[in-house]
Structure 1
Amino acid sequence: MQAHTTDQNSEQLHFWALGDLHFRALAPWREFQAQRYALMFEDLQALWQAEGAPAFCVSPGDIIETCAQENYDLAKSTLQTYLGQIPFYPGIGNHEYHEPEIDPRSTRRYFTAAWDKPPRYTWQAEGLLFIMLDYPDPLTLADPTKVFISQETQAFLEESLAAHPNLPALIFLHCPLRNTVLDRNPALGRDYNSLQSFFSPENSQEIRNILSRHRNASLFFSGHTHSGWEAPRLVVSERDGDHFVSFVNLMSPWYTGTHKGPHVDKALTSFSYSYDDPDIIPTFSIRTYANYASIRVRDHKSRSWLKTWHVPLFSH
């Protein structure tokens, strides 16, 4: 990477990104999760006290385990307790649609009512454009195991990028695009990953085509896979035509790895938890500069930084 001048090294914006949170009000789940998340939020608060609070926090989907109202209430109250006045930008993932006792046609309305945000929206801060895309409603899919990003969502992305061609754009979608984040050990299947259907859109190339047409498309954030630490291509930059697009997969602080995390019996009375190796509680700090972004992943269990990536950022 080329050396930066003093002006180029002047920080523009600092925000924090949280992977799949999966809040659930079920008593044994809530109690175990509260202990795990206390480590995360207490470390975040200590960091923010020392370094300054971020402009906002963002989480692109699966904030709740199911869209039952009690789970939304728990998520909102917990985030309000720990974030205080720091704005929070939510996204919609596959778990926001899941609740057997709720009419599936109402689930998107539950999301909007809870967060006072539509399923897809934009915002701006410090000369940057942020685009939150919506994961598709399973009712719109011929096969729920094969995800297609809707034409409406694609049009929203294209129109948002075109409307602000001089603003670097940071894009959020619950699932990663095909052939970004990979498995730590494909032979063992240690991670859900972007080569699998359901875990990445079948029409990923259509999204990539939109990104390639707009030079301001700079960063693309996702979650969904619960990828483990040091999964290949966790953060990767790809040159597309005359510009770079960097893909960032936000590991989940709830659990990482396949068949890990919480296990609840059908009667919802027995709870157990399987730990990944290594077991970490990760979130991501993002700082933007004139022509690059610094992405750092923090393990709140050990209260240590794991890695820093510097990736290109569109500069008009």
Structure 2
Amino acid sequence: MHTTHPSLYFWALGDLHYRAQPAWQALHAPRMQEMFEDIQSVWQEEGRPDFCVSPGDLVQTGTPTNYALAIQEIARQMQGIPFYPGIGNHEYHPDSQEDTFHTAAEFSAAWHKPPRYAWTAGEQHEIICIMLDQPYPYGSGERKESKEVIFPAETLHFLDATLQEHESRRALIFAHCPLQDTVLDRDPARNLDDDSQDTFFFVNNSAEVRAILAKHANVTLYISGHTHSGWNSPQLLFTEDLGKHTITHLNLMSPWYTGRHAGARRDPETNELIYVPDKPDTLITFALSIYADKALIRARDHRAHQWLTNWEIPLR
């Protein structure tokens, strides 16, 4: 841990995908427990964070039972630490062909948060945290998700207006989907990872988002998930110049699974739900400390009980 006390210390968790289905829970619950046990061991050593955040896909599908499970389990593990959820594409998913599509209103009723919102943080409330909403992914009469992720005008206006209102505060942005040309594939020839050059896995109007971010020099970080990127994916952390300032993109790995070809799968012979691990099968979340002049971002592998690396990002 850095010797100087940060103005803000928080943990960011990638796509969690809780599902209240016995076969799913048999595979999922041990990974979540392993992750949280190691996180709590770090908290005992370093102190509790100011909050934890997870920008979307907290549930596999948007059913009430999945929300109830996610809320119960996360509350149990947080032990009173504030938790800020975001909405992802999976929150809209039906659980079966017979199930209805789910809505942002259901997300809000479950978590008591609007789909896009902001809160202040830091010792003197000198930081503004902005959670953006994933757009509804289904067209009229369609049961297959749209291949394009387009932030609607309302989301863009909210981002611009909130940054303007809090221009004296350093800004951290959370969104489910990364911007285009940030996190990349570990092995494009084998299509090992979903990444921000695949249409479904980046914000298709990224140019409009970047134009807003370029206007506001207080923006520091854009933190996203969605891709389930594996460890050592190129540009998992990526800094770019926008306007007269820089912004750093952090793509959160999913502790449920990483890699395009991993996760819960049906055994072709038995039709039983099995777990296909990534190689390496890591279990990683991120601890972030914000100082006056830098951000310290650390990647923790909860399976190995060790820090993998840390990045220091200069802040102007």
Q: Shift of residue 312 of structure 1?
A: 2.9
Q: CA offsets, 1:162-198, max 9 Å, x none?
A: 0011101000110100000000011111110000101
- 1:107 paired with 2:100, answer no
> Aligned to 1:305, what secondary structure does the other structure show?
strand
Q: Shift of residue 270 of structure 1?
A: 1.7
- 1:86 paired with 2:88, answer no
Aligned equivalents of 2:246 and 2:40: distance in 1? Answer: 33
1:32 aligned residue: 27
Q: Shift of residue 84 of structure 1?
A: 1.3
Aligned equivalents of 1:231 and 1:300: distance in 2? Answer: 18
- 1:249 paired with 2:251, answer yes
Q: CA offsets, 1:23-72, max 9 Å, x none?
A: 01110111221111111010011110111010110000000000111111
- Within 5 A, what are the aligned runs for 1:1-316? 9-99=4-94, 100=96, 101-104=98-101, 107-126=103-122, 127-139=126-138, 144-264=146-266, 270-314=272-316
Aligned residue type for 2:52: C
| C-alpha contact 1:10 1:290 (8 A) present in aligned 2 | no
Aligned residue type for 2:121: A
Aligned equivalents of 1:265 and 1:68: distance in 2? Answer: 25
> Aligned to 1:138, what secondary structure does the other structure show?
coil
Residue correspondences, number: 306
Per the normalisation by structure 1, the TM-score is: 0.93
Aligned equivalents of 1:206 and 1:309: distance in 2? Answer: 28
What's the C-alpha RMSD, in Å, of the aligned pairs? 1.9
> Aligned to 1:229, what secondary structure does the other structure show?
coil
Aligned residue type for 1:73: A
Per the normalisation by structure 2, the TM-score is: 0.93
Aligned equivalents of 2:93 and 2:216: distance in 1? Answer: 34
> Aligned to 2:287, what secondary structure does the other structure show?
strand
Aligned equivalents of 1:164 and 1:118: distance in 2? Answer: 19
Q: Which runs of 5+ in 2 are unaligned?
A: none
Aligned equivalents of 2:254 and 2:244: distance in 1? Answer: 32
> Aligned to 2:297, what secondary structure does the other structure show?
strand
| C-alpha contact 1:15 1:285 (8 A) present in aligned 2 | yes
Aligned equivalents of 1:270 and 1:223: distance in 2? Answer: 28
Q: Which runs of 5+ in 1 are unaligned?
A: none
